[in-house]
Structures are given as structure tokens and as C-alpha cells.
Structure 1
Amino acid sequence: VLAGHVDDETGALGEFAALPELRRGDRVEVLRRGADPVVHRVVARRTVPQDELPPSVFRRTGDPVLTLVTCAPPFLPDQGGYRSNLVVTAVPVGS
């Protein structure tokens, strides 16, 4: 599981600014220091209310997956900011 911001309180883009553009079949590459990158293919994406992030996001059994999580609209400043999360699931290429 990798979680990151799409932007910050100043409006500057965060590390996951492009995550909302990912679609099923897109390629995601995870760079690793001192090792080859790991390539994944997006298999699912969904938006869930921020307080309803499914426990399956943090599962520790089954086939390996990459789960990317970031904030998603609506943005309600008077309620603390983004009220949803975008969850993108990807599998290692070759799976």
C-alpha cells in the first residue's frame, strides 16, 4: 500500500497528482533504490468515502497487489478537506 497526496493546502501538486488519471490496463512503475523497478498493471479503481476505506486495502494474504490511495473529491474545507479516497489496485506485470 502506497498513500500520497494529490495536492497540499497551498494547491501545490502532490506525489499522487496524476493518480486520478489512471485507468484499467495502465502501467504503473515503482522505482526502488538499488533494485530494478517493479512494473504493475491497473486492474481496478474506485472512490470510497474517506471513513469507509475497506479493510481489504490492507490485506496481507493472497496474490501480491499494489494498492495506491489518495484523496478524492468532494473537497469541503469546512469539513476538513477531501471527503473521499481514490483506491487504485494494480497487479505485477506477468500476473
Structure 2
Amino acid sequence: MPSGTESLPGTTAAEPPERVRLRDVGLDARVQPVGVTERGDMTVPDDPSVAGWYRFGPAPGSPEGSAVLVGHVDGETGALGEFAALYDVRRGDRVEVRRAKAAPIVYRVVSRATVPKDELPPSAFRRTGDPVLTLITCAPPFEPERGGYLANLVVTAEPVRE
């Protein structure tokens, strides 16, 4: 299986992310690599204070594609998770992704949308095209008898060209 940090022909591999910060909304989360479940769904770290990076896609800082970070809005105890802060994100907010062996990557939020959980756009996981950072968390309505949250909040950010 690909590691997610392998480079495409003619590109340079990006370092895996270690931390994501959105100071404007108070989000500061450690990042760990995640994969997929047996059903093919992306896994999410159990700890709501930790974000997951989809390791089978581009890493933040890759020259192409959508780097995906996912996190819980809350935990089983009802305590808010780090990604609950995404509810307050606005266009233009700055996102910083720190990496172990490379300089941080800075992004600016360009959009946010709420979509039904079963209609997450495939473009969120694209491997080609302009580089973006895609942040995903659960969104209301919450219906326990139907499995919990029925929607996703999807925040897209573009790299800042300094």
C-alpha cells in the first residue's frame, strides 16, 4: 500500500503532518496518520483532541491534490473535540500545518460546506490538480438511532503563496 508520502513522477515527496492549528478559532491538534476501515470508510482517531491525516492521499505541502485531515466534533462523553472549532471558521482564516522535517505549510480558508455524510464529494480525496487542504468533521443533525451525525462539515483551504 502507498505510504501517502510517496511522490508522483516529477514531484517531491511532502513530509507527513504532525500538528494543525487555526488560531482564529482556537483549534490546535496533534495529527496522526489514518487509513480505512474494512468497509472502506476513512478512519478517525478515537481521541477527539487528535486529528487524522488520510495517509493514502497527498500530504499537506504536496504539489498536487487534496490533503485530508479529519477529526471528531465531540467524544462519547460529550466533551468537544478539536475539530468542533471548524464550526466557527470563516473564509480567509489562516491554517498552519506543522511537519517534523520541513517548514510549516500555511493555508487560507476558501470555502466551507455542509454535506450529507453519504455525499462527501470525491474531489475531497483527489490526488491531482491544484493543492488544497481539506478539513472534515461531523455536522448536525445528530440522530443516535441512525448512527449519530448525518452530515459532514467540509472546510477547504488553499496554500498561501508568500
Give the TM-score band, short-chain normalised. Answer: over 0.9
Measured after TM superposition, the shift of residue 83 of structure 1 is 0.4
Query: Secondary structure of 2:83's partner?
Result: coil
Show CA shifts across 1:28-59 (max 9, x none). 11122233221100011100000110101101
Equivalents in 2 of 1:67, 1:47: separation in Å?
13
Q: Does 1:70 align with 2:141?
A: no
Q: Does 1:7 align with 2:74?
A: yes
Bigger Cα displacement from structure 2, 81-90 vs 17-26: 17-26
Matched to 2:116, the amino acid is P
Show CA shifts across 1:52-84 (max 9, x none). 101011011111000000000111111111000
Match of 2:156 in 1: 89
Identity of aligned residues (%): 75
Unaligned runs of 5+ residues in structure 2 are 1-67
Query: Higher relative contact order at CA 8 Å, sep ≥6: structure 1 or structure 2?
Result: 1
Equivalents in 2 of 1:20, 1:68: separation in Å?
11
Bigger strand fraction? 1
Structure 1 runs (4+) deviating above 2 angstroms are: 33-36
Q: Does 1:28 align with 2:95?
A: yes
CA-atom RMSD in angstroms: 1.3
Equivalents in 2 of 1:12, 1:33: separation in Å?
29
Q: What is the correspondence of 1:36-51 to structure 2 with a 5 Å cutoff?
A: 36-51=103-118
Unaligned runs of 5+ residues in structure 1 are none
Equivalents in 2 of 1:21, 1:28: separation in Å?
13
